[in-house]
Amino acid sequence: MRSPFLHIFSIMLGVILLSCTSRSQETNDNGAIIRDLQDIKNEKELVVLTLYGSTSYFMYRGQEMGFHYELAKQFANYLDVKLKIEVASNLDELYNKLCEGEGDLIAYNLPITKNKRDSVNFCGQEAISHQVIIQKKGKGTLTDVTQLIGKKVHVMSDRYYKRLINLNTELGGGIDIIKINPDSLSTEDLIQMVSKGDIQYTVADNEVAKVNKTYYNNIDINLIISFDQRTAWAVRKGSPELAKAANEWFKNSTQTTAYTATTKRYFESSKNLPFSPVLSIVNGKISHFDHYFKKYAPQVGWDWKLLASLAYTESNFDSTAVSWAGAKGLMQLMPRTARAMGVPRGKEFYVEESIKGATKYIATVENYFKELEKKERIKFVLGSYNAGVGHILDARALADKYGHNKDIWSENVEKYILLKSNREYFTDPVCKHGYFRGTETYNFVRDIIARYEFYQDKIKE
């Protein structure tokens, strides 16, 4: 017969075990499971919610990048847990996913508003957001909003347009506002047009403007046209300890080397390597590395001059080059790609290892486009080398959906790699890899092909 003592002990043990697990099963009014700091540490995973964008999160050459992504990764390391990223389509979905327990923390510049304080705890380092005029530097640079009267400003048909309309009303009219439909251009396209002198003015958030200034050093982003808006990250109301940890981490992290390097990478470092304006070809020689190009190009069925054109575009034949994103060496392989292609750690700057690794990578990428005619396949491979295969597959899917030829690069797929910086397109259901700044890839393919044709004309071997 079972002892009464053992029966009572079993009941007490069950109560203790239930109390130990009940914390992780705590739910809010919506029935969503609430996880706080200890639950996250117990489960060894921090689920971070964000949006695709040039400063938040994106894929570049197959690698996760973005200012807020890198900070979230540093925060996860601080907590000694793994980081898992979940991407929403818009701000409303971000908040819904957080409140429904699909993530622990939103890593994005969220406007701090009174009505949102009822459902979330804003945390982390506060940033100041405002809208600015993008214009070229020079003698006629505007320094006051009243000087916009009589000026033509091209602006996206979104909140930038609304702010400009309100500003125009405040000034009594006079600004010539040109509304741009987002199905053809993005804010970053307009910023590039300002840099090139195609248009005079456009509008962007200061954070987006700062990133773009690292691409176009001839633009001015100092004229503010909106009130300051405080922004921060956020957690659920039921996660006070996580909010506290985020606040403590941000307070201490701004002095660390990792935080400083991340800020510099996205908002200060130039995204462009210096290039010689004219490449001199003497006695049929393109570079000091031509013998390596001749050795490895046949392994992928390429003309060695095409491989040389790729190398010039990537590094200007500088074997010590390091890009803002961390790509290294003559062929600018990302660290993860270099490892996967057999480049030994520490030998990323060895010319032959870089070229050998690059041709292996080209062979791998070609498998995604083997059904295409060779001339077209080369363009798709070049695009993938610059952007990563995923973004090119997205552009092909968009081209197919919107009535263009997904097997032709020029005037077809290249149009949609450009549009992948436009939210309307990178959130399209056929896109699987989110935001991408396609201007670089568009120019990359065109530049390499044009330079290759120049080499072909000058060098007959």
Q: For the segment 82-91, what is each residue's pLDDT rounded down to a tens digit?
A: 999 999 999 9
Task: Report the CATH number that the domain containing residue 190 is assigned in CATH.
Answer: 3.40.190.10
N- to C-terminal Cα distance for the chain?
97
Quick one: pLDDT at residue 118? 86
Residue 17 has pLDDT above 90, yes or no: no
Helix, strand, coil % in the chain, rounded to nearest 5: 50, 20, 35
More confident residue, 34 or 134: 134
Q: Is residue 258 part of a domain?
A: yes
What percent of the chain has a predicted confidence (pLDDT) above 70?
A: 91
Number of domains in the chain: 3
Segment among 103-112, 166-175, 180-189 with least mean pLDDT? 180-189
CA 441-423-164 angle, 5° bins: 110
Reported as a pLDDT band with limits 50, 70 and 90, residue 216 is very high
Both 448 and 320 in a single domain? Answer: yes
Both 440 and 315 in a single domain? Answer: yes
Both 119 and 168 in a single domain? Answer: no
Both 56 and 187 in a single domain? Answer: no
Element (H, E) at 232: strand 229-236
Using alpha carbons, select from 401, 377, 396 the residue that is nearest to residue 438: 396
Q: Is residue 279 part of a domain?
A: no
Q: Is residue 141 part of a domain?
A: yes
Q: From CA 165, how far away is CA 171, in angstroms rounded?
A: 10
Q: Which of 70, 314, 366, 414 is catalytic?
A: 314
- Is the distance from CB of 456 to CB of 284 less than 8 angstroms? no
Quick one: pLDDT at residue 277? 47
Both 337 and 453 in a single domain? Answer: yes
Using alpha carbons, select from 120, 313, 366, 316 the residue that is nearest to residue 231: 120
CB atoms within 10 A of CB 363: 14
Both 310 and 263 in a single domain? Answer: no
Quick one: pLDDT at residue 125? 83
Quick one: pLDDT at residue 262? 94
Using alpha carbons, select from 382, 379, 192, 186 the residue that is nearest to residue 272: 192
Quick one: pLDDT at residue 249? 96
Quick one: pLDDT at residue 31? 59
Both 362 and 341 in a single domain? Answer: yes
Each residue's pLDDT tens digit, 223-282: 999 999 999 999 999 999 999 999 999 999 988 999 999 999 999 998 886 665 445 576
Following DSSP, what letter does each residue of 12-51 receive, concatenated?
HHHHHHHHHHHGGG-B-TTSPBP--HHHHHHHTEEEEEEE
Both 325 and 452 in a single domain? Answer: yes
Residues 6+ apart with CB under 8 A from 122: 110, 112, 116, 232, 233, 234
For range 431-458, the mean pLDDT: 94
Both 178 and 239 in a single domain? Answer: no
Q: What is the DSSP letter of 173?
A: S
Quick one: pLDDT at residue 6? 44
Q: From CA 340, how far away is CA 349, in angstroms rounded?
A: 16
Element (H, E) at 159: helix 159-170
What percent of the chain has a predicted confidence (pLDDT) above 90?
A: 81
Which of 184-193, 271-280, 421-430 is modeled with the greatest confidence? Answer: 421-430
Residue 30 has pLDDT above 70, yes or no: no
Three-state DSSP class for 217?
coil
Element (H, E) at 111: strand 105-111
Q: Is residue 276 part of a domain?
A: no
Residue 12 has pLDDT above 60, yes or no: no
Quick one: pLDDT at residue 276? 57
Q: Which of 178, 200, 227 is the endpoint of a domain? A: 227
For range 444-451, the mean pLDDT: 96
For range 349-368, the mean pLDDT: 98
Residue 369 has pLDDT above 90, yes or no: yes
Task: Report the CATH number that the domain containing residue 303 is assigned in CATH.
Answer: 1.10.530.10
Q: From CA 13, how far away is CA 7, in angstroms rounded?
A: 10
Both 256 and 116 in a single domain? Answer: yes
Each residue's pLDDT tens digit, 91-130: 999 999 999 999 999 999 999 998 899 889 999 988 999 9
Quick one: pLDDT at residue 283? 75
For range 402-422, the mean pLDDT: 96
Quick one: pLDDT at residue 184? 74
Residue 13 has pLDDT above 80, yes or no: no
Q: Is residue 386 part of a domain?
A: yes
Segment among 274-283, 371-380, 441-450 with least mean pLDDT? 274-283
Q: Is residue 337 part of a domain?
A: yes
Residues 6+ apart with CB under 8 A from 248: none
Q: Is residue 416 part of a domain?
A: yes
CA 183-271-212 angle, 5° bins: 45
Q: Tokens 């995604």 identify what position?
A: 368
Q: Which of 199, 227, 255 is the endpoint of a domain? A: 227
Report CA 182 to chain centroid distance, whole Å: 19
Quick one: pLDDT at residue 11? 44
Both 243 and 392 in a single domain? Answer: no
Residue 2 has pLDDT above 60, yes or no: no
For range 382-395, the mean pLDDT: 97
Reported as a pLDDT band with limits 50, 70 and 90, residue 26 is low
Q: Is residue 417 part of a domain?
A: yes
Rg (CA), the chain: 26
Report CA 258 to chain centroid distance, whole Å: 18
Both 300 and 415 in a single domain? Answer: yes
Catalytic residue flag (residue 461) = no
For range 412-439, the mean pLDDT: 94
Q: Give the domain range for residue 167.
A: 131-227
Quick one: pLDDT at residue 1? 45
